[in-house]
Structure 1
Amino acid sequence: MKKQINFSTEGSLTSVGPLTISRVLPNRYAEKVGPFVFLDYVAPALKPHIDKRGMGAHPHRGIATLTYILQGEVEHFDSRGHRAKIHSGGAQWMKAGNGIVHDENFNYDREMDSRYIQGFQFWINLPAKNKAEEPAHVAVQAEEVPRKTLQSERGWIKVVVGQYEGLSSKIPDYAEQFLYHIHLEAGKYFSLSLAEGMEVAAFLTEGTVNLNGADAKAGELVVFDRHAGDIDISNTSGTAIDLLLFGGEEYKEPVVARGPFVLNSAKEIDLAYQDYHSGKYGSIEQGSYNY
């Protein structure tokens, strides 16, 4: 049995400095997919001129942020002293926990001579019991992301978050969740079976694809139902395509989101702002940034 498609939609566009951002999740149809409550897609930008320190320091609480960079490099700084740089194909995860201030600096990948910036930022909602934990950070370089070659030269799958057929990501799990990057050659296909109750969405970065009999194009988010079933992906483009498949078990606790905070009640949101404005999250040291 195939999973049914609930809806498809395109993101709303905005600009952050020289970068064009598509806000894909939340949208008018859905607030979340599994534990994923936010998704921004950074469309390909050719060697943009970034002349300031970072993209703007800001707080978070109650979530984990996940940046997955397809092309370029991302440098991370935060108020708990974590600092790391990832390159094309890498990911970095930050558990905001009970409060943190962070910033990221996107640039083209000078080390790997990439000419573009392209990538994603997700927010992953934490279970209530983990929202009050201390912040943490994990950087995963491209060669550390588990990858499996598909049979018959169809392409490959990378496990950015979660597990797949014996592969396991270094990024921590607090609930059943996954983020797969699937690369399919022209005219090839891939099929995945999901258990009952699993929420899942697909996002295509280029070309066209057929998902369980329905056509989708680049920039579309396609969200499926929660019933057990298969997702059949067929590359209908004349060239190779890249598609993200992400989701997990339904988040059943209350969700209250305001600004950069995602918690379980309005009272907790108010406290998050009070703690931030009173300086409890700390600040990023001046010397942390590159000039």
Structure 2
Amino acid sequence: MQKKTSFSTKGQRADIGDLTIYRILANRYTDAVGPFVFLDHISPKVHTSPVDSSTGAHPHRGIATLTYIIDGEDEHFDSAGNYAKVYSGGIQWMKAGHGVLHDETLQPDSKTDNNRTHAFQFWINLPAKNKAEQPEYLAIQSEMVPQKNLPNDAGWIKVIVGSYEDLQSIIPNYTTQFLYHIQLQPGHSFNITIDEKIEVAAFLPSQKAILNGDEFGEGEFIEFDRAAGDILMVNKLQEATDIILFGGEPYTEAIVAKGPFVMNTSGEIADAYRDFYAGNYGKIKTDAGRV
């Protein structure tokens, strides 16, 4: 049985500097898909001069942030002393835990002649028991991202978070969660089975695709029902198309989100702001780790 579409929608503009950004999640229909409570799509863009793209130093608490870079070079600093550059195909993952400052800058990839930037940022909500833990950080280059070809030369699947068949991401799982990047070749299809009660959504970043018989366009976010069933993805274009598929088990604890903080109560949000203004998240040393 194929899963039914609950709704589809497009994002709202939320640009930073020279980057064209669409806020996909949260939206007017839902605040979360499994543990995922936020998704910004940094749209594909070709740059002819240096890019103004710094997010500026800002705090987080109660979540893990994940930046997946399709094209570009992402530089990360945080107040726990972590520093790294991740290049096209790589991932920046940071567990904010009880509080951390970070800053990211996306530029064209200095290792290639590609002047494009294209990326996604997700926020992954942490269970209450993990919100008070120490911050953690992973810089994952493209060759470390699990990937395999689909049957019948249909394309490929990358496992950004979670697992698929014999592939397993190195990003920690605090609940059942998955984030896949699927590329389908022209004239091909791919079917995936989703268990009952698992929340799942798809996003089409650059081309249209047919999902369970319905055609959706570029930039559409599609959420499916929670019944067990299949999602059949079909590409009838003359070029490859990409599908971002993500979700997980429902987050059953209360969610209170304000600004960069996602907690379980309003009192915890107040504590997060108080600790931030008191300087308890530390400071970023922008020369840390640079060579």
Q: TM-score range by the shorter chain?
A: over 0.9
Query: CA–CA distance in 2 between the matches of 1:50 and 1:134?
Result: 35
Aligned residue in 1 for 2:190: 190
Query: Helix, strand or coil: the match of 1:287?
Result: coil
Structure 2 residue runs without a partner (length 5+)? none
List per-residue Cα deviations over 1:140-175 (Å, max 9, x = no partner).
110110001012111000001000001100111100
How does the TM-score come out when normalised to structure 2?
A: 0.97
Aligned residue in 1 for 2:243: 243
Aligned residue in 2 for 1:208: 208
Query: CA–CA distance in 2 between the matches of 1:2 and 1:51?
Result: 43
Of all paired residues, the percent bearing the same amino acid is 53
- 1:283 alignment partner AA: K
Is residue 3 from structure 1 mapped to residue 3 from structure 2 by the alignment? yes
Query: Helix, strand or coil: the match of 1:80?
Result: coil
- 1:75 alignment partner AA: E
Contact 1:195 1:228 in 2 (8 A): yes
- 2:58 alignment partner AA: H
Query: Helix, strand or coil: the match of 1:253?
Result: coil
How far has the Cα of 1:208 moved from its partner?
1.4
Query: Helix, strand or coil: the match of 1:173?
Result: coil
List per-residue Cα deviations over 1:232-264 (Å, max 9, x = no partner).
000122210111000000000000000000000
Contact 1:53 1:290 in 2 (8 A): no
Matches for 1:102-141 after TM superposition, within 5 Å: 102-141=102-141
How far has the Cα of 1:131 moved from its partner?
0.2
Query: CA–CA distance in 1 between the matches of 2:236 and 2:29?
Result: 26
Is residue 57 from structure 1 mapped to residue 57 from structure 2 by the alignment? yes
Contact 1:18 1:49 in 2 (8 A): no
Which structure shows the higher strand fraction?
A: 1
Aligned residue in 2 for 1:167: 167
- Going from structure 1 to structure 2, the CA distance change for 1:48 and 1:31 (only over 3 Å counts) comes to farther
Query: Helix, strand or coil: the match of 2:34?
Result: coil
- 2:179 alignment partner AA: L
Is residue 176 from structure 1 mapped to residue 151 from structure 2 by the alignment? no
Query: CA–CA distance in 1 between the matches of 2:279 and 2:242?
Result: 42
Contact 2:98 2:131 in 1 (8 A): yes
How far has the Cα of 1:139 moved from its partner?
1.0
Aligned residue in 2 for 1:267: 267
List per-residue Cα deviations over 1:196-249 (Å, max 9, x = no partner).
110000011122111111110110000001111000000122210111000000
Is residue 217 from structure 1 mapped to residue 201 from structure 2 by the alignment? no
- 1:56 alignment partner AA: G
| Number of aligned residue pairs | 291
How does the TM-score come out when normalised to structure 1?
A: 0.97
- Going from structure 1 to structure 2, the CA distance change for 1:48 and 1:160 (only over 3 Å counts) comes to farther
Contact 2:18 2:53 in 1 (8 A): no
How far has the Cα of 1:286 moved from its partner?
4.1
Aligned residue in 1 for 2:278: 278
How far has the Cα of 1:4 moved from its partner?
0.8
How far has the Cα of 1:47 moved from its partner?
2.0
What is the root-mean-square deviation of aligned Cα atoms in Å? 1.5
Is residue 148 from structure 1 mapped to residue 133 from structure 2 by the alignment? no
- 1:76 alignment partner AA: H
